[in-house]
A and B are shown apart, each in its own frame.
Chain A
Amino acid sequence: MIPGEIIWEQEMRVPNTVVVDGKTYATVLGMVREDRFIPLELVYRPKPGDNLVGVVTDVRHSGYSVDINLPHGGFISSKFTRVSFKQGDLIFGRIKFADEVGNVDITDAKRLPAGKLVDVPASKVPRIIGKKSSMLNVVRDGTGCSIFVGNNGYIWIGGKGNLQLALKTLDFIIENAHKHGLTDKVAEYLNEQGGNVTVPPREEAAPAAPAPTEERAPEPAEVSGLGAPVEETPDPAKEPITEDPAQVSEGEPVVEPPRAEAPEESDNPLMKGGSGIPEKKDKIDVDEM
């Protein structure tokens, strides 16, 4: 389907479509599966309950401005959070409220430890998460990384796993996002890679690490493993590092069930951060494919 192409002869109230004279037309590139319209290219529009990964860009008395990959930044009000952030901190939060002019209030924000921030097209996020996080769990299992996906297209990858493989896998998912049975293909892909996971990616990771790079863009060859907390230029290395091993040690062994893993994995940073905010990780599968 391309913009303006007719999808259904009758009126259907589906996102990313427009109804004209009782017929439904596509407004973006997409595919049709029975009564659903799946956009292939999409500009993310914030809605309450969405999970976000962002970067703190400004600290004010009233709260924190956050870069969330949108025309207008998000805002974490000091009223809703007891965690304090610094400029450059990576956060994972939930949209409390998004108004019609694009202001986004974030709640339940917590700081993510040092990791890599990847920018992916927002339309591929549901595919990266998969049904009930199935895809995400495959990637987590296969790479040993912990991954947080924001609906805004920002993805945080950290932990002790094979970062390079995780990035490659994401790439693989994005490339094949419009195909069937992707979770199996990804598993296969990871298994293929699995044989040489230990050797080549490490080799790649080691030499490429030195360049200090900005964290937010998946810029040129930043092939930095977690071992070198390089991307976090503004991050005062101390905090993340203290959190990091703790988090990984918890996160790694507990790999299989999504719901079990998620809290475990993130409980620790929470404790360290000193906030009693409940874990919202499960919310991630809001957008099922």
Chain B
Amino acid sequence: MEKPELIKDGKRLDGRGPKDLRSVRIEAGVLKEAQGSALVEWGGNKVIAGVYGPRECIPKHGADPYKAKLKVRYMMTPFCSKGEHSRSGPNRRSIEISKVMREAFEPVVMTKNFPRSQIEVYVEVIQAEGGTRVASLTAAAVALADAGIPMTDMVSAIAVGKLDGQLVVDLGKDEDNYGESDVPMAITHRDKQIVLLQMDGLLTREELAQSLDDGIEGADKVYELQAEALKKSYEKEERGKLNL
């Protein structure tokens, strides 16, 4: 496919302005058997997250006597995009994303409350359209809160990138593929800690500084949606129901 014209008259491919997010819908408490769960529909992305624990650490020799072990698994389903993921199971990419997601949550989850146990976070990408890791982080944060796992802060994630020399927030698939740079980041809401920051492509120092500012702004919007989703989950009828 030819490189499309990414920005035309200040509008992006899908008609968004540079700082507009795709439509984001977050729902908490979507899985019955998981302790906490969340569904995030972010543009064309569909991500579901489930949280279990704290429970007994397996294998036992891996248990930490001082804190809970956080285990994050990010996985793309074989049907999530145009067939590039036709073989399911962990691969180099998903192992890396699992690791950076785990490291994003380690500073905020109060693991010291639960020694010798593990907290499991499973994130499954049902449909992918650029920016699945930020959608996954957003879903995982909501699922952790929904599970009642104590966290000192809420994590919200957003990607910033550069298209045709202009910084834009929340890249879609084509923007990611044909743009010049992609900077996914995860930010805690209260003290604006950067718990995840990656960069594909090239940016100047000034551009990176600017993209961090834009990212924090975007992450705040995501945070509002996360908070709303968590509050809304209490209006749902089936919430917390016993399996009768």
Contact = CB atoms under 8 A, between A and B. Distances in A.
Interface of A: 2-6, 16, 18, 20, 25, 27-29, 39-43, 45, 71-72, 100-102, 118, 120-121, 123-124, 167-168, 170-171, 174-175, 177-178, 217-221, 223
Contacts of A25: 152-153, 190
Contacts of A29: 145-146, 148, 230
Contact of A2 (B53, B118, B226, B239): B226
A72 B117 contact: yes
A218 B152 contact: no
A3 B152 contact: yes
Given A25-B190, A29-B230, A71-B116, A3 B153 contact: yes
Contacts of A43: 54, 113-114, 147-150
B244 A2 contact: no
Contacts of A5: 154, 227
Contacts of B149: 28, 43
A170 to B, nearest CB: 6
Contacts, number: 115
Interface of B: 36, 53-57, 65, 108, 110, 113-118, 144-154, 188-191, 226-227, 230-231, 234, 237, 239-244
A169 B147 CA distance: 23
B112 to A, nearest CB: 10
A3 B156 CA distance: 12
Q: Which of A43, A171, A218 has the most CB of B within 10 A?
A: A43
A14 B184 CA distance: 36
Contact of A39 (B55, B148, B231, B243): B148
Nearest to B66: A101
A71 B241 contact: no
A71 B240 contact: no
Contacts of B147: 41, 43
Contact of B190 (A4, A124, A218): A4
Nearest to B144: A3
B143 to A, nearest CB: 11
A3 B149 CA distance: 9
A118 B56 CA distance: 21
Given A2-B227, A45-B114, 15 more contacts: A2-B154, A2-B231, A3-B152, A3-B154, A5-B227, A18-B152, A20-B191, A25-B152, A41-B147, A71-B54, A71-B117, A120-B242, A124-B240, A219-B243, A223-B244
A40 B154 contact: no
A29 B153 CA distance: 11
B151 A175 contact: no
